[in-house]
Amino acid sequence: MKNESNHLRRILVITLVLSIAADLLYWFLVGPHVPPGTMTTSAHDDQIDFNILMVIALPVLIGVWVFMGYTIANWSSKRANVAEPKGGPAARSNMKAQVLWITITTVVVLFLAGFGIVELIIGNGSGGGEGPNPVWEPAGAAQAETAALTSAASWAPGKVLVVQVIAQQWKFTYRYPQFGGFETQQLILPNNTTIAFNVTSLDVIHSFWAYQLEVKADANPQENNVAFTTTKQLGNFTVRCSELCGIWHGAMFDYGKVETPTNFSSWAATTESANAANTADLPAFAWTYVPDANGAAGGFYPDGTVTPYSSVEVYGAKQAAS
C-alpha cells in the first residue's frame, strides 16, 4: 500500500490539473457566451460575476468528484488486496484536516460574500429590484425620478430615462413620464442610456424580467420597485413574467427593442402625440395605482360607486409619491 501522503498528493494533483484545465476552458470558451450576454452594463457585470463563481465552483466540484472517484477505484471491497481499514482515534478525527477544511470553506465563503456585496453596490443593484427608495443608484437617477412626477419632465440623450412598467394580468404596459406620461405596450429604449425602471402592478405579484437587459424586479400592487441598467447595444430583447401570476402566466411575455437615441426620440415624440387623447383619460402619472373592482382582490364590498366593468377607470387615484 502507498502511504498516506501519496494518496492525498495524487488526489490533489489530479484535482489541480483538471481544475486548471476546466477553468481555462470555461473562462475562454463558455464564459463569454453565458447568458444574459452583454447588452447592458448589468448584463455584462452579472455575466462576469457568474463566470467568477463558476471558476471557483469548478475546482470544488472536481475536487469532490476526484476524491469520490479515487475512493471507488481504490478502496472497493471487490478489489483484490484492499487493505483492511483501520479504526481507532486516528480514523475518527484529524484536527489538521478539520481545521484546514473549515478555514478554506470560510475563506471562500467570506470572499464570495464580500465580492457579491461590492458588485451589488458598484453595479447599482445589478439590475435587480431595489424597492421604492433605491440605496444604490446611478448618477442623475434621483433627479430624473423626482422630475418624472412633474409635468415639466423631459428627456434628452445622456439623461436618465424613467420608464414605468405596469404589470397586470397578463401583460406589461409601459409609461414614459418624460414624454407626457403616455402608456404603450411597446418597450423601446435608447442606446447608451441609463434606464430607471419603476415596476408596479395593478393586481397580483408579477416579476418584470427583461432577459437580455438583465433586469429583474417583482411587480407588487401599490409598491414601486426600481431597477437600473444602462443599455450598451442595439437589438431586440425579451420580456417575461417570472413570478407566477395566474393561469396565463406562461403567456405573459413581449419583446422590446433598444434603438439609437435619435430613433428613440422620434418614436417617443410620435407616440406621445398619437396617444395624446388616450393619455388624457389615464390617471395622472404616479408610482402606484389602486386597482378598481376588476383588479385582484377587488370585489370586496362593491358599493355601487365603482363601475364594475368601466373601460375608463382602469386604475384609480394617484398615490403619494414615495
Partner 1 sequence: MTISAERPTKSVASSTSPPSPHQGVSWTQRPGWLSQHMGTAIIAAVLGYAFGHWLGNYVTSGYPYIANSGQNSSANALALIFAVVGWLLGIGALNYPLAKLVGKEADHETSVEGWSKYFRYTLDHKVVGLQYVVGVLLFLFTGGLLAMAIRTELLSPTTHVFGPGTYIEIVSEHGTIMMMMATSIILGPLGNYFVPLMIGSRRMAFPRIEAFSFWIFIAGYGVIFSALPYGGFPTGWTGYAPLQTQAGPGMISYLLGFAVIGLGMMAAGFNIAATIINFRAPGMTWSRVPIFVWAILSTAALLTLATPTLFAAGLFGVLDKTVQTAFYVTEHGGSSYLWENLFWFFGHPEVYIMALPGFGIVAEILPVFTRKPLFAYKVAAAGMIGVALLSFFVWQHHLFQSGINPDMRPLFMLTTELISIPTGFIFLVGMGTLYKAKIRFEVPMLFAMAVFFNFLIGGVTGVFLSDVPVNVTVHGGFFVLSHFHYTIMGGLLFAFMAGLYYWLPKMTGRMMNKKLGQWHFWTMFVFFNLTFFPMFIIGLLGQPRRVFTYAKNLQMLNDFSSISAFLLGFSFLIFFANLMWSMYIKPVKAPANPWDSLGLEWQTANPVPVYNFERIPVIMTDPYHYSEVGAPALADLGVGGSGDRVSSSGKSDK
211/264 with CB nearer partner 1: 211
Contacts by 281-284 with C-beta closer than 8 Å and gap 24+? 281/312, 282/181, 282/183, 282/314, 283/315, 283/316, 283/317, 283/318, 284/181, 284/318
Q: CA 257 to CA 255: how far, in whole Å? A: 7
Q: Could you tell me which stretch among 153-161, 176-184, 241-249, 260-268 binds partner 1 (CB under 8 A)?
A: 241-249
Closest separation between CB of residue 256 and partner 1, Å? 14
Q: Binder to partner 1 among 5, 28, 29, 77 (CB under 8 A)?
A: 77
157/316 with CB nearer partner 1: 316
Closest separation between CB of residue 192 and partner 1, Å? 21
Which residues 124-153 are close enough to bind partner 1 by CB under 8 A? 125-132, 134-135
Strand order in the sheet with 206-210: 187-190, 253-259, 235-241, 206-210, 215-219
User: Quick one: which of 187, 221, 194 has its CA closest to 295?
Assistant: 221
With 0-12 / 13-18 / 19 or more C-beta atoms within 10 angstroms meaning exposed / middle / buried, residue 10 is middle
| Residue 38 within binding range of partner 1, rule CB under 8 A | no
| Residue 175 within binding range of partner 1, rule CB under 8 A | no
150/305 with CB nearer partner 1: 305
Q: CA 17 to CA 10: how far, in whole Å? A: 11
Closest separation between CB of residue 139 and partner 1, Å? 19
Q: Could you tell me which stretch among 115-123, 150-158, 172-180, 269-277 binds partner 1 (CB under 8 A)?
A: 115-123
Cell of 125: 443593484
In contact, 208 and 217? CB cutoff 8 Å? yes
Q: Could you tell me which stretch among 140-148, 155-163, 210-218, 258-266 binds partner 1 (CB under 8 A)?
A: 210-218
Q: Could you tell me which stretch among 17-25, 59-67, 140-148, 159-167 binds partner 1 (CB under 8 A)?
A: 59-67
Number of residues counted as binding partner 1 (CB under 8 A): 101
Closest separation between CB of residue 275 and partner 1, Å? 28
Mutual orientation of helices 41-74 and 95-122 as an angle, nearest 10°? 160
Secondary structure (3-state) at 121: helix
